[in-house]
Structure formats: C-alpha cells, structure tokens
Amino acid sequence: MDAAVGRRAVAAGAVGNVIEWYDFAVFGASATLLAAVLTAGGERGLTSVFAVFALSFVIRPLGAVLIGTRADRTGRRGPLVATLLLMTLATAGIGVLPPWAAIGTAATVLVLVLRAVQGFSAGGELVVSITYLVEHAPRHRRGLRGGLHLATMACGFAAGMGVVAVLQRGLGLETMVEWGWRLPFLLALPLGAVGLYLRWRTEETPDFRAQVTVARSRLSPLVEVVGGHGDTVAAGFLLAAAMASTFNLWFVYLPSRLVSDGRYELATVLAGALAGLITMALSAVLCGHLSDRWGRRPLLLAGATAVVALWLVAPPRVAEGSLATLILADIAMGAALGAFVLQSALADRLPPRIRTSGMAVSFGLASALVGGTAPLVASLLTDATYVAVYALVWALSASVVAARWSGTSCVSEPEGRAGGPTSASSDAVSLADG
C-alpha cells in the first residue's frame, strides 16, 4: 500500500473519529447546563437529560447494524462520510434549539430527536471506523492501530469536556446558562467540515478490495456472524459492556453527579475527567503496541482486573471531596480502560467479509445497550454503593472472558513484506484472512 494513501487513511479515520466523539461528548459534558435550559429543571431535569442520553442509545444499535452491514456489502469509505455528516448536523442543531422557557416540552422532545440522530451516527461510526483503521494497517501493527482508534475516541471526549470546562470557567455559570452552552455544539460545524474533507479524499481498505475479487456469500452478514462466530461475538459483547459501562459511569455520570451533589464545581470535575481521558488515550496507544508483541489476552485481562480493583476502592474516596484523589482516580481509570485492546482482538477473529457486522453485534450493541443506559441506571439507583456493584458485575464478567480469550497471539511480518504474516500461533490469522 502506498505510504501517502496510508497516511491519508490514518488521518481520515483518526481525525474524523476525534470530531465525531467530540460532538457526542459535548452532550454529556453539558448535562447540568442542558437540564437547566432545555428541561423543567431541578433534580428531575438532570434525570430527564440522562434519560435522553440513554434513549438515544436505543437507536444506536440500529445505526451499528444497518451501517455496519452496508459497510461489509459496499465498502467502508462511504459510510464513514455519511456518519460524520449526520453527527455534525445533529450536534449543531442542538446548539440552535430554543430553551424550555420559550417552547416548553417541545425543547426536550427536539433534543431527544437530535440526540437519536447522534446515536444512529455514533453506532455506525464506532464499528466502521474500527474496521477502517485496522484494515489499513499491516497485520503486525493492528493492535497499535486499534489502540489509536480508542485513543481518538478518548481525545474526542476529552476535547468535548475540555471545551465545556474552559467556557464555563471563562464565561461563568450564569452566562453559560443564558447562551454560552450553545458554543460547544455550534463548533461542530467547522470541525465537521475538516473531517468530511479528509474522509472524502481517502480510499477503500485493502481487505475490502480483496473481498470484492472473490465469490461472496449469499448469506446476510448478520446471519453469518451469529451462526458462525457466536462465541466471539458473545465474548466481545461482555468485554465491550464492561468497558462502555465503566467509561460512561466514570466520565459522564460521575462528573454530573458530583456537581449536582455540590461536592465539586463543574469545571473542576471536567478537568479531572480530562486528565483521565488523556491518560486513556496514551494508555490505549501503548497497550495496543504491546498487544502486537505479547498478544491481546494479557492486556485485556490486565485492563479488566484493574477496572474491578478501582470500582472496589475508588468511589468512596472520590466522594470525600479531595481534588487530588479525584484526579488520581480519573488517571488510574483512564489507564485501565486503555488496556482494553478489544478493537484489534475482535478484528483478529472476524473475517473481512463480516468484520464490521461482527463489530456491530458485539462492540456496537454492548456500547449502546449497556454503556449508553449506564448513566440512567446509576441516576435511578442513586446510592453510590449500588452503582459500583452494577459496574462490578460487568467488570467481573469481562475478567472471566479475558482470562479465557483465545486466538490473540501476535502476528509478525518480515521486513520488506508488509501485510503478510510469517507465523501464526493461533487461529486468529486464518480468521482475519477470511
């Protein structure tokens, strides 16, 4: 593959992913502001915002499955452009909504509709961008490329939270409630234009182009995924559920809960979350690289075990109100989540003809059904102990799956022969080859 083509592919996948998840994160970072502006307000207002956050994930599996199967049939590039365009328009749309004081319940309904469009787009973006980035990498660097995908997600979330935190600190809470809350959403327009330009100039992945030259199965990709790769999909679902629930509970629900309880200011908790997300991005790249050398299983197990330990010890200490403890806990959780090298682990075990569909059924569904509803579940549980127990159930399940994960040994290539494995100590290589 030409080096320039590879660089454009990485830029299109990575930069576009940052922008897509910036748009998605701004909503969570602005939860307390949206509760004040676009709902009736009060404690019920925050619950309403988290309900919108959760209900938008109902549409997200539909986006993952429909866009994922289309990417397996027609290619990865077109869906990548479409998902970013949808996300950009929906995010900017939220930024121009009239407040509750002007149109009442209609404000909340319109937020729900636009958030549903975001959810549909994010579902497709998640699974297609993973496949796109991994398939544009040599096989001995697919762990690193999968780590880059996770890192760009973290960077996008960090950017969304960072923009809200900086504006809140600079403009003050009163101005943010009056009009400043709109700015992070409207920023989606110029950012989206950059991402669309990059994605429009990129090319189809080598793996998909190779599939076009062979006879294609008459089976629906979803039928083949469930019938032929059910064990992989089920294991991937549990790992993704633990990762997504912890991510959304720790970096979306917890900041809003701490602010709502009066323990910290919004800018403070967002700064702590920002530190954790940056750590997650760095950890994801490092752990992805290590998984290419050591295999996927040790990193998956280390990440799941660390998440279990942190849910056991961190929440009570964070609730005490110490800023240093909050930041350290955020950093530790970010490092642990970065070890979930699930993107490359699943890509190893799914053939190209159904790779995106398999990502949709496992990673996509778990991120939506478990991760997306986690903040709402937590807001209904209210008690911090119950929230931690809920998170622990998924994290412990992931630990069991990670300990039994097979087919994750690294694949090496000789110099001067990019894309061709010389050894395979597991069945992952044959699966990845399709």
Question: Can you give 237-277 as a three-state secondary structure string?
Answer: HHHHHHHHHHHHHHHHHHHHHHHHCCCCCHHHHHHHHHHHH
Q: How confident is the model at residue 300 (pLDDT cuts 50, 70, 90)?
A: very high
Residue with structure tokens 């994750």? 408
User: Is a pLDDT exceeding 60 seen at residue 383?
Assistant: yes
Residues in the chain: 434
Rounded Cα–Cα distance for residues 370 and 60 (Å): 11
CB 208 within 8 A of CB 352: yes
Quote the pLDDT of residue 411.
39
Residue 130: partners with Cβ closer than 8 Å, 6 or more residues away: 146, 149, 343, 346, 347, 359, 363
DSSP for 220-238 reads -HHHHHHHHSHHHHHHHHH
Task: Extract the tokens encoding 74.
Answer: 């027609």
Q: How confident is the model at residue 168 (pLDDT cuts 50, 70, 90)?
A: confident
Mean pLDDT to the nearest integer, 111-137: 90
Residue with structure tokens 């121009």? 96
Rounded Cα–Cα distance for residues 150 and 182 (Å): 27
Task: Extract the tokens encoding 121.
Answer: 């787009």
Quote the pLDDT of residue 76.
92
CB 413 within 8 A of CB 420: yes
Mean pLDDT to the nearest integer, 72-84: 92
Average confidence score pLDDT of the chain: 85
Domain ranges of the chain: 3-433
Would the CA dihedral through 362, 364, 367, 373 be positive or negative? negative
Quote the pLDDT of residue 410.
37
Give 249-275 pLDDT, tens digit per residue.
998 888 878 887 778 887 788 788 889
Rounded Cα–Cα distance for residues 209 and 205 (Å): 6
Eight-class DSSP state of 47: H
Quote the pLDDT of residue 403.
96
- CA angle 32–38–44, rounded 5-degree value: 60
CB 363 within 8 A of CB 313: no
Rounded Cα–Cα distance for residues 50 and 55 (Å): 8
Determine the 3-state secondary structure of 184 from DSSP: helix
Q: How confident is the model at residue 157 (pLDDT cuts 50, 70, 90)?
A: confident
Rounded Cα–Cα distance for residues 382 and 78 (Å): 43
Eight-class DSSP state of 427: T
What is the CATH number assigned to the segment(s) 3-433? 1.20.1250.20
Quote the pLDDT of residue 219.
63
Give 177-233 pLDDT, tens digit per residue.
999 999 999 999 999 999 999 898 888 898 888 876 554 555 678 888 988 899 999
CB 279 within 8 A of CB 335: yes
Whether the pTM exceeds 0.75: the reply is yes
